[in-house]
Chain A
Amino acid sequence: MTLTPSGAELGRRLREGDVGAAPTVLNLVESRPARESGEVQALLHEVAPGALGGEAPAHVIGITGPPGVGKSSLLGELVGAWRADGRSVAVLAVDPSSKRSGGALLGDRARIASDPADRGTFIRSTAAGERLGGLAPATRAAAQALSAAFDVVVVETVGVGQSETEVAEVADTVAVVVQPGSGDVLQFLKSGIMEIPDVLVVTKVDLGTVAQRARRDLVAALRSIGDNATPVVAVSSVAPVQGIDDLIAALDAHRAELDVGARRLDARRAGAVADFHAEHGDRALRALGGRRAALKALGEADPALEVPALTRALEERAGVA
């Protein structure tokens, strides 16, 4: 077995902007023994706001939507544009696992991958595993860690209705991707089953009028629930590629308006409660008075703390440490 650097060492490398640490960081956060032995916490401690002297500089973007809408191809175009702009990019692509076998087929990087010699692009595919809702257990930790070193960190998940809520727990900006003719998204938005994302993206605009109509329908649906602000961007990832610059502008504009510190703090607290729940179950959560009470209790904690420290605070409070 090869020697792997410690979590603290990896955290320091990330803090210094060493994007080459990314593969090892992912191996670490995905490893159960590393979680149990505190290595993951040591890593996150090194990249927590307390150690960085503020929030990590990356723009963390969640991209989600139903299967087959062209998320990966779109991501391929986005990655190319970011790289051309000199921004380093980490992509965490989360795929569903087979309920029957537990295994997963991870094929997204084929559509995203760029020049293999380019160290400024990092792509990791992860299986969602047993966690409900879409996010792989390690993805949140990975996004937090990598946002210390990369300019852009993308979390890509599959689904509609729940996945954007999960992604919102790690991302500064959530983009939901739909293709023309996906009426379910319209219905979900109107009925409140789905939360309103920060940016809506309609793909396959090369289809012409159908895509433009889909875009108009989405704008109308948003208006009917009183939302006039959420941008709806139409894109095509096949030649001639269209709308990528508009989308990047919309993502950047959202980030510029955002109170990053507040959103990240909310995200870390929600993450800690989710981890606590996953580890100790419903009964332990009830012992804390439920999810809202747990979040409220964390409101008293140091805002610069990393997720594992917050989780531990909850464990101590519930007496399950």
Chain B
Amino acid sequence: MSDHRLAERDRPWMMRTYAGHSTARKSNELYRGNLAKGQTGLSVAFDLPTQTGYDAGHELARGEVGKVGVPIAHRGDMAALMDGIPLGEMNTSMTINATAAWLLGLYIVAAEEQGVEARALQGTTQNDIIKEFLARGTYAFPPGPSMRLIADTVAYTVTEVPKWNPINICSYHLQEAGATPVQEIAYALSNAIAVLDATRQRVDPELMGQVFARLSFFVNAGVRFVEEHAKLRAMGELWEQIGRERYGVADPKHLRFRYGVQVNSLGLTESQPENNVQRIVLEALGVTLGRNARARAIQLPAWNEALGLPRPWDQQWSLRIQQVLAYETDLLEYPDIFEGSKVMDGLVAELVEGARAEMAVVEEHGGAVEAVPYMKAALVDSHRERRNRIEAGEQVVVGINRYAESEPSPLSTGEDGGILVVDPGVEAEQVEALERWRAQRDADAVERALDELRRVAADDAKNILPATIEAARAGATTGEWAHALREAFGEYRAPTGVGEAAAGVPSCEQDALRDEVERVSEALGRRVKLLVGKPGLDGHSNGAEQIAVRARDLGMDVVYEGIRLTPSQIVTSALQEGVHVVGLSILSGSHLELIPDVVAGLRDAGVDAPVVVGGIIPQADVEPLREAGVAAVYTPKDFDLGRIMGDIVALVAQRNGAAAGA
């Protein structure tokens, strides 16, 4: 028996693929196929209406149904999604947040219908609202009630669904929004503290050890994989300390830092997309190399995520990466390979120290909930610095700012453009199916269940879960559940972070553009005014925020209202604000439905402002958008914000007859 080999090879982590689209039935087929290929758990991607609590047919759901995930409106949809999959044995991770309590309710009821009791269920609801306010945007309710829903779910599951992870605290999306490793650690752990503090008031104090043990994390891993590994070790160290010192947890089993991972999508490129494969492999190493901080569950993005939705074959490729790593290599045969490493210990110490200091700042703001505006602004700043480094060539991205010359890629030249396109007919299909569902259910039972839900919602001392499960049994829909709670809790718009973002430091190349903005503004007789809008339910606002901040730094007046706007809201803003140009950002794939609506609305309202669009727009959709009247389309390969800004100013000058720039 040696101490550099394990007596027995470790079992591999749980392998998943983040999947779901179109309809419950289609997604079920996809899941069964993935499981047959050796996937060991499920990871459900819900569409944006389901994530934000709207039924298909709602104005805000237009163009979004079945796009980035599967629509689940009621227990019938959930049963179809899990058809033929034994829920007593499956381990299911659900990326669901604002409506997590509801989707868990539907899952529990679907299990009941399979004859499986709740105690046997294993899996995870993401259920992390603070990062939705900060980075992902699928929140529905104000912070207070949102934290209560989370605490209710934790308190309920710890006794009733004891193998369930009621919350997956996400640092993943923070990194996607630009977080540095220190920010990622500090904000995620501060978030966990807010959840634990809220839960402490709603459970028997003796259960706090178990509660602490049920909290898991969902982290990110970028391509700087050595530092990323150190980040995970640092999180483990800090987590244990928090458990011991703040919550008096003593059982070492309860103190373990458990995490799943989806590796970085922010760094994946649209140009030379095949390079993403090696990025993904290296990132997977970052979360598996050291046994003491190895992921419990991994899902890898597909090589073509910056192009559009991955096809089954693309996802299979990512699963095979995991399988090669787990089954072909010798990775799982050794104890921790970094024990005693000076480099690793040094990196961990650095990160722990930095994170502690940043956590203290969050604490000074009154904790993670109160510190949302502070953290949001800090993320916007970090992301801007990252973009500036890439634009200046200080941070190398192969295929983007270095080695950009390329042979044509055979991967993305196929008939389908190398991506999955969701049949636009699924929306109408889902609307019809929903009408049929409503017609055949016991309407009185639904109304009674929703009345009870409203009553419980209004009483802060009650747990929301029992009434939620009852409403699921009665046949209520996602939109009805969320509507009842919106009535009780009110609605909310999260801070955009752009108002608080630091003003940029002038650089030479920006100076020339600033002069041009000034010149055009003088010629127009008032300052160039830009509306940045995010139509639809997509909450990925990084791009829009960066555009807004840069335009301000160049001297424009910028109207930015945050996410989740209908086309008519955008048109009204453009008209009332008297803007010279409109920039729209959309990443959810609903651009062909929503953008022509905005353009036509502007025309009808008599707003003579050119429209530019940015986001994940497949090449095949660029021409239809231009035909609809869009002046310019930008995709992830247009990384140079300066160039985009130059175009925007030129468009304004041209449209208003201001002489061409010097």
Is residue A30 contacting chain B, with contact meaning CB distance below 8 A?
A: yes
Partner of A105, one of B373, B552, B569: B552
Interface pairs (6), CB distance under 8 Å:
A23-B578, A33-B525, A97-B557, A100-B506, A113-B572, A124-B578
Inside 8 A of B566's CB, which chain A residues have their CB? 116
Given A1-B657, A98-B503, also A103-B556 (CB < 8 A): yes
Is residue B573 contacting chain A, with contact meaning CB distance below 8 A?
A: yes
Q: Are A111's CB and B493's CB within 8 A? A: yes
Is residue A8 contacting chain B, with contact meaning CB distance below 8 A?
A: no
Inside 8 A of A30's CB, which chain B residues have their CB? 526, 578
Q: Are A103's CB and B555's CB within 8 A? A: yes
Interface residues on B, range: 35 or more
Is residue B205 contacting chain A, with contact meaning CB distance below 8 A?
A: no
Q: Are B573's CB and A109's CB within 8 A? A: yes
* Segment 490-524 of B: residues with Cβ below 8 Å from A: 490, 493, 496, 498-499, 501, 503-504, 506, 514, 517-518, 524
Given A116-B566, A116-B569, also A106-B558 (CB < 8 A): yes
B560 to chain A: closest residue by CB: A107
The CB with the most chain A CB atoms within 10 A, among B556, B562, B568, is that of B556
Is residue A47 contacting chain B, with contact meaning CB distance below 8 A?
A: no
Name B's A-contacting residues (CB within 8 A): 142, 144, 373, 488-490, 493, 496, 498-499, 501, 503-504, 506, 514, 517-518, 524-527, 548-549, 551-562, 566, 568-569, 571-573, 575-578, 606, 608, 656-657
Name A's B-contacting residues (CB within 8 A): 1-2, 22-23, 26-27, 30-34, 68, 97-107, 109-111, 113, 116-117, 122-125, 127, 129, 238-239, 241
Partner of B555, one of A1, A32, A101, A238: A101
Q: Are B608's CB and A2's CB within 8 A? A: yes
**Docked CA distance A103–B503 (Å):** 10
A68 to chain B: closest residue by CB: B373
**Docked CA distance A104–B548 (Å):** 10
Inside 8 A of A123's CB, which chain B residues have their CB? 576
Q: Are B552's CB and A109's CB within 8 A? A: no
Partner of B554, one of A2, A103, A129: A103
Q: Are A109's CB and B561's CB within 8 A? A: yes
Q: Are B553's CB and A117's CB within 8 A? A: no
Partner of A103, one of B557, B578, B657: B557
Given A98-B552, A104-B552, also A110-B558 (CB < 8 A): no
**Docked CA distance A99–B504 (Å):** 11
Partner of B557, one of A31, A100, A104: A104
**Docked CA distance A234–B26 (Å):** 54
B142 to chain A: closest residue by CB: A238
Q: Are A23's CB and B559's CB within 8 A? A: no
B572 to chain A: closest residue by CB: A116
Partner of B526, one of A2, A32, A100, A238: A32
Q: Are A109's CB and B525's CB within 8 A? A: no
14 additional contacts (CB under 8 A) given A102-B555, A113-B573: A23-B576, A26-B576, A26-B578, A27-B578, A30-B526, A31-B526, A101-B504, A105-B548, A106-B577, A107-B562, A110-B562, A113-B572, A116-B566, A239-B489
The CB with the most chain A CB atoms within 10 A, among B142, B490, B504, B561, is that of B561
B526 to chain A: closest residue by CB: A30
Q: Are A102's CB and B518's CB within 8 A? A: yes
Tell me, rounded to whole Å, the shortest Cβ–Cβ distance linking B585 to chain A.
15
Tell me, rounded to whole Å, the shortest Cβ–Cβ distance linking A241 to chain B.
8
Partner of A34, one of B506, B525, B548, B576: B525
Inside 8 A of A68's CB, which chain B residues have their CB? 373
Q: Are A116's CB and B568's CB within 8 A? A: yes
Q: Are A103's CB and B527's CB within 8 A? A: yes
Inside 8 A of A32's CB, which chain B residues have their CB? 525-526
